């Protein structure tokens, strides 16, 4: 075994110091093999980690492409060095290309790169997830997709709104999910003093019972503000299907308002 290792060592020393086209070809071939192995190991690792943290496939492919590009650049530099091109020239060329590339990126792709980085940050920090019901910059709906550049939200009127990831990071985000698969939507409703507290809450209890089958658990309510002119109640509605938030809260509010109007009219008679 030791003799075999010594033979490999001698062969490598010969290749490293030998001159001529054959020796150059062998060295270039070895560099190709090493670069290919490194590229395969690193890109597989990126894909594995990306799947573990549930990154979007577009993001994973973008990271793999960038990594592959830099590995190829390193390989080309190594091959040119073996070919006898001076290292100083390579450094100068690299700096020139880097400067030109930086200017081009700065002029043409600043927003795209910012969105790409913002998209990565969103997917890693997870302020919300796919199918979450959210409110971002006043746009309320279900998160359907997070791409490299945009977060896509399905609104109640069945429109797909695209918000750039940079804008998402700078916005206040309201997430309606208590935990995975459960959403809580709140409604603040004000009532005058034409009905007593007991009369109001009898109306609430009747409507709550009526809507218990449309939500994941029985709605709740509490008084959050009291003044000389009004009482303000907050209603808590719970859902498992985020699309129910498009219709049930408005139906609940309409029913509460209808029952309240009927009770007020009855009291005036």
In this structure, the answer to whether residues 168 and 183 fall within a common structural domain is: no
> Which tens digits make up the pLDDT trace of 66-100?
787 788 777 777 776 666 555 455 555 555 555 54
159: pLDDT strictly greater than 70: yes
Q: Is residue 116 in a domain? A: no
Beta bridge partners of 133: 142
- Looking at the fold, whether 166 and 192 belong to one and the same domain comes out as no
Q: Where does a domain end: 146, 175, 204? A: 175
pLDDT of residue 112: 65
Same domain, 69 and 148: no
Check which CATH number belongs to the domain holding 91 and give it. Answer: 1.10.287
CB 189 within 8 A of CB 233: yes
Residue 151 domain-assigned (yes or no)? yes
Q: Is 51 part of a structural domain of the chain?
A: yes
Q: Does residue 218 lie within any of the structural domains?
A: yes
CATH classification at residue 225: 3.30.300.330
Residues 59 and 147 in one domain: no
- Same domain for 23 and 73, yes or no, is yes
According to the model, what pLDDT value does residue 73 have?
A: 78
Question: Mean per-residue pLDDT for 27-53?
Answer: 80
Arithmetic mean of pLDDT over the chain: 79
For residues 166 and 188, state if they share a domain.
no
Long-range (24+ apart) CB contacts under 8 A made by 107-116 are 111/164, 111/166, 112/149, 114/165, 114/166, 115/148, 115/149, 115/150, 115/164, 115/165, 115/166, 116/59, 116/62, 116/148, 116/149, 116/165
Assess whether 75 and 19 both reside in one domain: yes
**Phi, psi angles (nearest 5°) of residue 128:** -160, 170
Does some domain include residue 192?
yes
35 and 99 both lie in a single domain? yes
Same domain, 166 and 216: no
Asked if 267 contacts 195 with a C-beta cutoff of 8 angstroms, the reply is yes
Q: What is the DSSP letter of 180?
A: T
122 inside domain: no
> What is the tally of structural domains in the chain?
3
Residue 104: pLDDT band with limits 50, 70, 90:
very low
Q: What is the CATH number of the domain that holds 143?
A: 2.30.30.60
Containing structural domain, residue 243: 179-268
What are residue 212's phi and psi, to 5 degrees?
Answer: -60, -30
Q: pTM here?
A: 0.60
Same domain for 191 and 248, yes or no, is yes
94 and 164 assigned to the same domain:
no
The answer to whether 145 and 202 are in contact (CB under 8 A) is: no
Residue 208 resides in a domain: yes
Cβ atoms of 204 and 221 within 8 Å: the answer is yes
The H or E element that residue 197 is part of is helix 197-211
Q: 226 and 132, same structural domain? A: no
pLDDT value at residue 213: 86
């Amino acid at each position: 075994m030791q003799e075999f290792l010594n033979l490999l060592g001698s062969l490598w020393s010969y290749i490293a110091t030998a001159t001529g086209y054959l020796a150059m070809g062998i060295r270039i071939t070895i560099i190709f093999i090493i670069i290919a192995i490194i590229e395969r190991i690193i890109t597989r690792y990126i894909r594995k980690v990306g799947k573990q943290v549930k990154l979007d496939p577009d993001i994973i492919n973008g990271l793999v492409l960038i990594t592959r590009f830099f590995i190829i650049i390193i390989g080309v530099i190594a091959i040119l060095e073996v070919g006898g091109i001076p290292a100083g020239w390579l450094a100068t060329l690299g700096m020139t290309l880097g400067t030109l590339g930086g200017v081009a990126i700065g002029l043409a792709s600043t927003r795209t790169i910012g969105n790409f980085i913002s998209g990565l940050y969103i997917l890693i920090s997870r302020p919300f997830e796919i199918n979450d019901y959210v409110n971002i910059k006043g746009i309320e709906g279900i998160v359907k997709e997070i791409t490299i550049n945009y977060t896509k939200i399905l609104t109640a009127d069945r429109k797909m709104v695209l918000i750039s990831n940079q804008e998402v990071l700078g916005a206040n985000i309201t997430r309606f999910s208590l935990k995975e698969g459960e959403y809580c939507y709140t409604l603040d409703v004000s009532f005058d003093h034409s009905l007593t507290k007991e009369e109001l809450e009898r109306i609430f209890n009747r409507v709550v019972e009526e809507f218990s089958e449309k939500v994941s658990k029985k709605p709740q309510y509490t008084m959050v503000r009291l003044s000389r002119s009004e009482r303000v109640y907050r209603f808590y509605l719970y859902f498992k299907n985020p699309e129910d938030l498009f219709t049930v809260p408005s139906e609940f509010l309409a029913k509460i308002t209808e029952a309240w109007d009927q009770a007020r009219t009855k009291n005036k008679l």
